[in-house]
Amino acid sequence: MRADQKPTALQQVRTAVLANMKPGLVLWCGLVLLLLAYLFSPAVESGLRQWGELKQAWGYTGSFVTYAAFAVLVPELLAWAVLRQPVPRTIVKDMAFAIVVFGLIGMSVQTLYDVQVSLFGSGNDAATIIKKMLFDQFVYSPVSNFIMVGVFLWKDEGFRTSTLRYFGTLDFWTQRYLPVIIAVWCVWGPGVLVIYFMPTALQFPVASLILSFWILIFKFMRKH
């Protein structure tokens, strides 16, 4: 491929799959440990249950705060403390923007879980889990990740109106969006299976933990 030639959609898919293979394996191992801890450790089960009850008491405000904390604050603080990543001069502005975006995503995730209970019930039998996983990965995720990719790109481009037109181009869909959604499908399938295995009240806390772990893995991988 020439240096000035952009990869094809198929090449982007292959690159995304290979790039997410190693962090995906790490995440899946973490999911197994989390599930075992929930099943066999009364302390872990009790902690998750109390967290779920607190989050439910706070409603959508709790969803916003929890996702903002576990997607932005926790990974960034650990990245500085453990990975010794440099702190950029725009950190306050960048984190404020990310907190708003991921907080709103947290509220949308809570809406997703509420809708799925209405559609499929609150059981954790195999049929219900599979239905929720398919709805999550092939209905909710394509839309939410399109919005997330678009919003962060728009911000990086200075909120220019010309960027909004770019969202309708083939280049955006193949070069920007496709690698992200492929990464989601490659890695988050096992993640949502664990989430929907949990009782309804625990699904949001577990999703928050998985999201935070996922972001930290990518920070570590980029550093090494």
In a domain, 170, yes or no: yes
Give pLDDT, residue 63: 93
| pTM, 2 dp | 0.83
Give pLDDT, residue 29: 82
In a domain, 219, yes or no: yes
Give pLDDT, residue 17: 63
Digits of tens for pLDDT over the chain (224 positions)?
A: 444 567 776 676 666 666 666 766 777 788 888 888 988 999 988 998 898 888 888 889 999 999 999 989 888 887 776 666 677 778 888 899 999 999 999 999 999 999 999 999 999 999 999 999 999 999 999 999 999 989 989 998 989 988 889 999 988 998 888 888 887 887 777 788 889 999 988 899 989 888 887 777 666 655 54
In a domain, 5, yes or no: no
Cα–Cα distance, 7 to 31 (Å, whole number): 33
Count of domains forming the chain: 1
In a domain, 2, yes or no: no
Full residue range of the structural domain in which residue 123 is found:
10-223
Cα–Cα distance, 221 to 224 (Å, whole number): 5
Reduced 3-state DSSP string for 3-62: CCCCCCHHHHHHHHHHHHHHHHHHHHHHHHHHHHHHHHCHHHHHHHHHHHHHHHHHHHHH
Give pLDDT, residue 163: 87
Phi, psi of 2 (to 5 degrees): -70, 155
In a domain, 74, yes or no: yes
